[in-house]
Amino acid sequence: MGTFPAHHLEGLSDEDCWALFKERAFGVGREENVNLVAIGKKIVKKCGGVPLAANALGSLMCFKHRVGMRDSEIWDLQEEEEITIFWALRLSYNHMPFYMRQCFSFCSIYPKDYIIEKEKLVHLIGHVLLLLAT
């Protein structure tokens, strides 16, 4: 409540951001495709050191079987624009499977910082998915 000065966090360095992206996109021990590495490095430059963006976009590259990324909204950004956290979240949400979007939307009805019991949440989501299936 203002008794301590704010501590502003810096973004990741380019090397650390690339390491995070690379781990999520290519995994450990997987062979890296030279073309995909070049695309990944362009994406990382736009992440602005935001770990969430690097993590989400690296995962997206991995799980989209390396095809849909080239046609993604990411290329609509201008060269000097950076990826914001909200942009990365939106892109991640847009590429979620439908059933996960439903769960995500369901959880959004709870207020910020609300503590949800895991068992209760699983039970409620199970009921919602059953209702949607019928």
> pLDDT tier at 90 (50, 70, 90 boundaries)?
confident
pLDDT at 18: 92
User: Using alpha carbons only, how large is the chain's radius of gyration in Å?
Assistant: 18
Separation between Cα atoms, residue 82 and residue 30, nearest integer Å: 28
Tokens for 27? 């995994």
Whether the predicted model's global pTM rises above the 0.75 cut: no
Q: What is the pLDDT of residues 7-36, one digit of tens each?
A: 777 888 989 999 999 898 888 766 677 778
CB atoms within 10 A of CB 25: 27
Separation between Cα atoms, residue 7 and residue 93, nearest integer Å: 30
Backbone region of residue 28 per phi and psi (left: phi > 0; alpha: psi in -120 to 50; beta: other values) = beta
Separation between Cα atoms, residue 79 and residue 21, nearest integer Å: 19
Q: Which of 12, 14, 11, 86 is nearest to 43 (CA)?
A: 14
Separation between Cα atoms, residue 50 and residue 30, nearest integer Å: 24
Q: Is the pLDDT of residue 69 over 70?
A: no
